[in-house]
Amino acid sequence: EQSFILQLADETATLALGEKFAHILRPGLIVFLCGDLGAGKTTLTRGILRAMGYSGKVKSPTYNLVEIYKFSRLYLYHFDFYRFNDPIEWEEAGFRDYFNENTICLLEWPEKADKLLPDADIKIFFRFDQSGREIKIQAGTEKGKLCLKQW
């Protein structure tokens, strides 16, 4: 199984992991970010976006479910389904179309949209660990495995 565990001592370490992760991300990847509130999912996303050259504010998409970032032809969609509870909202927003070969999708709280979502290529699990975090990175598909091979 393609998976590994890392310890992140502080926020800087989480941001640095995001930057490293950005270098292996490819268009078409779907990444689930799993873990409790405050575990570091948005912080990791911030690190990824910074490494991709985005210098603005990275907002948590908790209220509008998704924040959209455009890098020439590539779109990065940062979802947060914490407050999601209505499948009709999914249909009306057209979220199905957000998952395609020109997009990278990062999803917080995928559990809350469970059946509607495509399979994750990569899952990142966040746990509180003393004062820092322990995270597990796991491939869910062949595409995800190929991606993690470059780690």
Residues 122-151 that bind ligand ADP (CB under 6 A): 132-133
**Binding partner of 14, given Mg ion, ligand ADP, none, CB within 5-8 angstroms per partner class:** ligand ADP
Ranges assigned E (strand) in the chain: 3-8, 30-34, 66-71, 74-80, 103-108, 122-129, 132-139
- Residue closest to 11 by CA, chosen among 37, 48, 35, 47: 47
Residues 20-49 that bind ligand ADP (CB under 6 A): 35, 37-43
Residues 52-111 that bind ligand ADP (CB under 6 A): 60, 108
Min separation Cβ 62 and ligand ADP, Å: 9
Question: What interhelical angle do 11-22 and 41-51 show, nearest 10?
Answer: 50
**Binding partner of 27, given Mg ion, ligand ADP, none, CB within 5-8 angstroms per partner class:** none
| Cα 80 from Cα 78, distance rounded (Å) | 7
**Binding partner of 138, given ligand ADP, Mg ion, none, CB within 5-8 angstroms per partner class:** none
Q: Are strands 30-34 and 3-8 parallel, antiparallel or unpaired?
A: unpaired
Q: Return the number of the residue (41 or 133) whose C-beta is nearest Mg ion.
A: 41
- The footprint of ligand ADP (CB under 6 A) covers 8, 10-11, 13-14, 35, 37-43, 60, 108, 132-133
